Structure 1
């Protein structure tokens, strides 16, 4: 099992009005990951989609900083989730990683 290196990640959490995980993956997780993969210096993205919730942890090359948090926040403001689900709230913060690699993962260089 791969472990996160020590340090911080940018954590993004969406609370939504839908409890069907498969629908959330299509409507929220996939569009979010697409936008995050386009951010410079992103090294890994780990996501978890559960009932009423989508969470992503983004690790940047070298070190994850406040500037990276600001960059992620700026990019996710423009994600189009369509009309399938309603976003109730969104938070973004710097924190130690919490998600395991047993959830969805993307690494720089992946075509996913």
Structure 2
């Protein structure tokens, strides 16, 4: 499994790189589909700790994974979200569908 992905039971954590653009989003989508096809995944956690930039393909990635996992509340989480990425997730409306946890000390939204 790619070092970007970490599986613990039915939870799949994706450690996102500094830039989440179209090529990276496609790679994450393909690999997560492969993993979901082999193993039951109930929750996906996207770790934004190292992420400085995300374009609309990153939003599509999050919403696509939400759809693939059955559109259940709490099936997608974004953690270690910077204020810049948090603003992007709110402006796009994604915050209505996924749980967002800001960077250390900022709490759950």
Do the structures match in fold with TM over 0.5? Answer: no
Higher relative contact order (CA 8 A, sep 6+): 1
Which category describes the TM-score, using the shorter chain as reference length?
Answer: under 0.3
What TM-score comes out, normalization by structure 2 length?
Answer: 0.27
Q: When you count helix as a share of all residues, which structure comes out higher?
A: 2
Q: When you count strand as a share of all residues, which structure comes out higher?
A: 1
